[in-house]
Amino acid sequence: MIVSSTDNSDMKNKIYQTEPPEVVNLNEANKLIQELWQQLREYEDRLATSSRNSSLSPSSDTPAAKAERKKLKRLVVEIRLALSQTTRGISAQ
């Protein structure tokens, strides 16, 4: 996992405050892209989980938890947009 922070409120700041990893060749770049997409899918899976669609108790859907999911959803959208802009024009081989 690229981002090691467990505090999601600081996640966006940590992502944009650090320099992007440097890759030497196309294979490394493809590996990094795959890792980032996997991380993004994990975030999306976590965001989709609530007491309505899982075995979580209704008390887990506190206003703070809902607000946190909303923040993470915005972060996921920003990451998807950044990845699509970065990888535009790169074709898989």
- The domain ranges of the chain are 25-87
The per-residue pLDDT for range 10-39, each reduced to its tens digit, is 555 565 567 777 888 889 888 888 888 888
**What amino acid is encoded at 50 in this protein?**
S
* Confidence band of 46 (pLDDT split at 50, 70, 90): confident
Per-residue pLDDT averaged across 53-73, rounded? 81
C-alpha dist (Å) from residue 86 to 8, 18, 46, 63: 23, 16, 25, 35
For residue 63, the model assigns a pLDDT of: 85
How many Cα atoms are found within 13 Å in the side-chain-facing hemisphere of 70?
7
